[in-house]
């Protein structure tokens, strides 16, 4: 189990995270919050790139900073801005990182092609990466993170910059890889985790806002989300969430805390509704 | 309650067994480096270091060639000041290449981090520096062996002193730009006495007994190796980088 106990992180006088307590046991954890809310700071602390100002992070009861390389051997990390050597092929690049991860050559020779097949790069494993699209590079990133068969897979904004098709492919891949391990996936894109996350962690005002299943989180807005074609006729105080065009008319989805307005029908809330409502002061 | 009474011998054996399982002997520097060499190999350990090495060799040669004082009169001064040039610049440049790489963070989460690889490289660079110093001494052509050994011990003294001081400063102070420290240090201590004392500095270096410079070089080398051991074994410190999110 990976446990974050009362962790606070400060940069000088600026507090990035305050008194965060989370337990990761197994499955996919979606770290969902707008940009600038401390997701990357938390992710970097889990990857031992940053250390808490106060509090502790424990893996199997031992502080990760003290575990050192024994902890680094159990993690796979895909940073937000994933770098690579353009002149190398995915096979060469993965062999290089396998060596840095202390994986012996014979294991790496078996594992590298296997992983590249898994991420659908089997037919280009000897092509220089300078010719690769963003989605292909991210898949190389996932393959390198899986090299040591990590017990904890940490992915920081893995779908940023991917087109919708690549994003779906990526989600399916994460879902496949999540068996028997902890996957921590940070994102500000709700659809990335709506279908694959077992639990969603939301941060707000530097603190932990919630850590629950997507269904339970959606339930917090149960009976408060409506849709209407005539938003101007809604007299009660309300917060508009989204709008879409249909047959030349605009269908508005909104939250109303004070009962069902006339000319509006209640709908089942989804994670995006909760996200937009919770971060209504921050989402532009 | 029935308790099994252990003999003294059994107790000692049990204690030994617990200690052998519970305590792992810290790895020596040599063991660290041989393990790392076996895991990474020469090619991966020195990936992207060709340019820093070529530039640093050129800087050392350039420094000697363009030295503004006549080096038939300032042999020891030239050798003392130029000895650490290759080392400090190759360390600076290779570290800069690593820090500017987008792979820096990812590498810091691996078993062998940038810091481990850097420690291995630093040792190799100091060996290369020793070879270059010897070549520089041979190039200057001393009339007798005594002068040659004096010059060589002075060169190695300067090389290992700067190696030790540079690595210590980088280890103790955790600033983002601390890998520049050896360069500033060399600029302050290397060429400065030349401008301040000129001929007296040359006379001083020419008169220091070889035994003293050799002893200083040996002590500095030992301290440098101890610093490398610490550099490998200290807990991972924070990556100096901008944190978004």
Residue B243: the pLDDT is 37
pLDDT band at B242 (very low <50, low <70, confident <90, very high): very low
**Chain B residues whose beta carbon lies within 8 Å of the beta carbon of residue A84:** 102-103
Min distance B101 CA to chain A CA atoms (Å) = 7
Residue A284 has pLDDT above 60, yes or no: no
**Chain B contacts of A100, Cβ < 8 Å?**
40, 44, 107, 110-112, 117
> Average of pLDDT values for B49-65?
94
Contact yes or no for B106/A82 (Cβ under 8 A)? yes
B150-194: per-residue pLDDT in tens? 899 999 999 999 889 888 887 777 676 777 878 888 888 777 888
Contact A84 B102 (CB under 8 A): yes
Taking CA–CA distances from A148, the nearest residue in chain B reads: B110
**pLDDT-derived band of residue B245, with 50, 70 and 90 as boundaries?**
very low
Residue with tokens 């010897």: B134
d(CA A244, CA B98): 48
ipTM reported for the complex, 2 dp: 0.86
What is the rounded CA–CA span in Å between residue B113 and residue B105? 9
CB distance A9 to A53 below 8 Å: yes
Reduce the DSSP state of residue B102 to 3 states and report it.
Answer: coil
CB contacts, 8 Å: B44 with chain A? 96, 99-100
Contact B111 A66 (CB under 8 A): no
Q: Note whether A43 contacts B112, CB cutoff 8 Å.
A: no
B243 interaction partners in chain A (CB closer than 8 Å): 11, 16, 40-41, 44, 50
Query: For residue A5, is pLDDT > 90?
Result: yes
Among A143, A135, A196, A195, residue whose Cα is nearest residue A167: A135
pLDDT digits (tens, 9 = 90+) for A109-126: 999 999 999 888 999 999
Confidence of residue A161 (pLDDT cuts 50, 70, 90): confident
**Chain-chain contact of A104 with B39 (C-beta, under 8 angstroms):** yes
Q: B22 falls in which pLDDT band (50, 70, 90)?
A: low
Mean pLDDT rounded to a whole number for chain B: 85
Identify the pLDDT of residue B4. 66
Query: How many angstroms separate the CA of residue A11 from the nearest CA in chain B?
Result: 10
Q: Are A50 and A39 in contact (CB under 8 A)?
A: no
Q: Chain A: give the shortest CA distance to residue B184, in Å.
A: 27
Task: Using CA coordinates, name the residue in chain A closest to B107.
Answer: A100
Max CA separation in chain A (angstroms):
70
> B44, A99 in Cβ contact below 8 A?
yes
Distance from the A147 Cα atom to the nearest Cα atom in chain B, whole angstroms: 11
Position B221 scores a pLDDT of 94
CA B147, distance to chain mean position in Å, is 26
* Average pLDDT for A253-265: 84
Q: Which of A232, A219, A228 is nearest to A273 (CA)?
A: A219
Candidates B44, B111, B239; nearest CB to A72:
B111
Average pLDDT of chain A is 90
- Which residues in chain A are contacts of B98 at CB distance < 8 A? none
pLDDT band at B241 (very low <50, low <70, confident <90, very high): very low
Q: Which helix (H) or strand (E) holds B54?
A: helix B50-65
Is pLDDT of B2 > 60? no
Q: Give the rounded percent of residues in chain B with a pLDDT score beyond 90.
A: 41
The per-residue DSSP string of chain A comes to -EEEEEEEEEETTEEEEEEEEEEE-SEEEEEE--TTSSHHHHHHHHTTSS--SEEEEEETTEEHHHHTHHHHTTEEEE-SS----TTS-HHHHHHHHHHHTT--HHHHHHHHHHHHHHTT-GGGTTS-GGG--HHHHHHHHHHHHTTT--SEEEEESTTTT--HHHHHHHHHHHHHHTTTSEEEEEES-HHHHHTT-SEEEEEETTEEEEEE-HHHHHHTTTTTEEEES-GGG--S--EEEEEEEETTEEEEEEE-SSSPPTT-EE----HHHHHHHHTTTT--
- Would the CB atoms of B110 and A97 count as touching at under 8 Å? yes
| Token pair in block for residue A128 | 């220089």
Of A1-5, A187-191, A204-208, the one with minimum mean pLDDT is A187-191
Inter-chain residue contact B102 with A39, CB threshold 8 Å:
no
Q: Comparing C-alpha atoms, which of A193, A269, A266 is closest to residue A39?
A: A193
Contact partners, residue B54, CB within 8 Å, separation at least 6: none
Give contacts of A77 with chain B, Cβ < 8 Å.
105-106, 109
Q: Find chain A residues with C-beta within 8 A of B239's C-beta.
A: 44, 49-50
Distances in Å between the alpha carbon of A223 and those of A17, A230, B94? Answer: 32, 19, 60
**pLDDT score of A179:** 84
With tokens 């005002």, the residue in question is: A205
pLDDT the model gives residue A234: 77
CA distance B164 to chain A (A): 25
User: Smallest CA–CA separation between A143 and chain B, in Å?
Assistant: 13
Say yes or no for a CB contact (<8 Å) between B111 and A102.
Answer: yes
- Whose tokens are 């660290």? That residue is B32
User: Looking at residue B177, what is its pLDDT?
Assistant: 73
Sorted by where each begins, the domain ranges of chain A are 26-43+77-218, 223-267
Residue A69 has pLDDT above 50, yes or no: yes
What percent of chain B stands above pLDDT 70? 91
Please check whether residue A132 is in contact with residue A121, taking contact to mean a CB–CB distance below 8 angstroms: no
Residue B95's pLDDT band, with cuts at 50, 70 and 90, is confident
Q: What is the mean pLDDT of residues B10-14?
A: 81
Contact yes or no for B153/B160 (Cβ under 8 A): no
pLDDT over 70, % of chain A: 99
User: What CATH number should be reported for the domain whose range is A26-43+77-218?
Assistant: 3.40.50.300
B166, B220 contact by CB (below 8 A): no
Q: What is the 3-state secondary structure (H, E, C) of A74-119?
A: CEEEECCCCCCCCCCCHHHHHHHHHHHCCCCHHHHHHHHHHHHHHC
Which residues of B are less than 8 Å from A74 in CB distance?
A: none
- Look at residue A233 in the predicted model and tell me its pLDDT: 78
Task: Compare B84 and A238 and report the one with higher pLDDT.
Answer: B84
User: Contact at 8 Å (CB) between B32 and B231?
Assistant: no
Please compute Rg for chain A using Cα positions. 21
Compute φ and ψ for B144, nearest 5 degrees.
-135, 165
Whole-number pLDDT of residue B101:
87
Instruction: Give phi and psi for B146, each to the nearest 5.
Output: -60, -45
Q: Are B103 and A69 within 8 A, CB to CB?
A: no
The domains of chain B are located at: 29-233
Instruction: Report d(CA A216, CA A271) in Å as an integer.
Output: 10
User: What is the pLDDT averaged over residues A261-272?
Assistant: 88
């Amino acid at each position: 189990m990976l446990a974050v106990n009362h962790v606070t992180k400060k940069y000088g006088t600026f507090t990035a995270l305050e008194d965060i307590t989370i337990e990761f046991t197994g499955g996919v954890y979606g770290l969902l919050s707008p940009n600038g809310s401390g997701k990357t700071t938390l992710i970097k602390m889990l990857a031992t790139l940053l250390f808490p100002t106060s509090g502790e992070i424990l893996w199997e009861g031992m502080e990760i900073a003290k575990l050192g390389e024994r902890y680094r051997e159990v993690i796979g990390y895909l940073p937000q801005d994933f770098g690579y050597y353009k002149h190398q092929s995915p096979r060469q690049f993965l062999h290089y990182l396998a060596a840095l991860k202390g994986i012996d050559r014979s294991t790496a020779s078996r594992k590298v092609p296997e992983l590249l097949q898994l991420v659908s790069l089997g037919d280009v494993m000897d092509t220089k990466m300078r010719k690769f699209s963003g989605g292909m590079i991210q898949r190389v990133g996932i393959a390198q993170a899986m090299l040591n068969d990590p017990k904890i897979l940490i992915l920081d904004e893995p779908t940023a910059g991917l087109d919708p098709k690549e994003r779906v492919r990526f989600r399916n891949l994460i879902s496949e890889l999540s068996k028997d391990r902890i996957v921590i996936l940070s994102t500000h894109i709700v659809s990335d985790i709506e279908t694959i996350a077992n639990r969603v962690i939301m941060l707000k005002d530097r603190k932990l806002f919630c850590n629950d299943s997507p269904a339970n989180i959606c339930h917090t807005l149960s009976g408060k989300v409506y849709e209407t074609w005539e938003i101007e006729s809604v007299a009660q105080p309300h917060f508009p969430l989204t709008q879409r065009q249909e047959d030349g008319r605009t269908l508005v989805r909104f939250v109303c805390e004070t009962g069902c307005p006339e000319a509006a029908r209640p709908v089942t809330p989804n994670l995006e509704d909760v996200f937009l409502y919770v971060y209504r002061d921050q989402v532009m | 309650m029935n308790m099994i009474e252990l003999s003294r011998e059994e107790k000692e054996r049990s204690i030994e067994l617990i200690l052998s399982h519970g305590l792992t002997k810290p790895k020596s520097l040599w063991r660290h480096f041989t393990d790392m060499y076996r895991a990474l190999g020469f090619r991966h350990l020195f990936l992207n270091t060709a340019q820093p090495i070529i530039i640093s060799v050129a800087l050392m040669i350039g420094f000697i060639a363009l030295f503004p004082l006549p080096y038939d009169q300032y042999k020891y001064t030239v050798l003392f000041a130029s000895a650490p040039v290759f080392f400090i610049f190759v360390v600076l440049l290779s570290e800069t290449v690593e820090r500017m790489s987008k792979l820096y963070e990812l590498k810091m989460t691996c078993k062998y981090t940038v810091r481990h690889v850097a420690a291995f490289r630093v040792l190799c660079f100091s060996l290369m520096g020793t070879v270059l110093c010897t070549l520089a001494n041979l190039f200057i052509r001393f009339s007798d062996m005594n002068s040659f050994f004096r010059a060589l011990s002075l060169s190695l003294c300067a090389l290992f002193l700067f190696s030790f001081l540079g690595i210590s400063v980088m280890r103790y102070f955790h600033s983002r730009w601390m890998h520049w420290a050896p360069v500033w240090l060399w600029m302050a201590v290397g060429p400065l006495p030349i401008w301040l004392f000129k001929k007296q500095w040359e006379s001083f270096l020419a008169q220091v007994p070889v035994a003293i410079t050799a002893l200083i070089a040996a002590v500095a080398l030992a301290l440098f190796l101890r610093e490398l051991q610490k550099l490998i074994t200290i807990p991972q410190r924070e990556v100096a980088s901008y944190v978004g999110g």
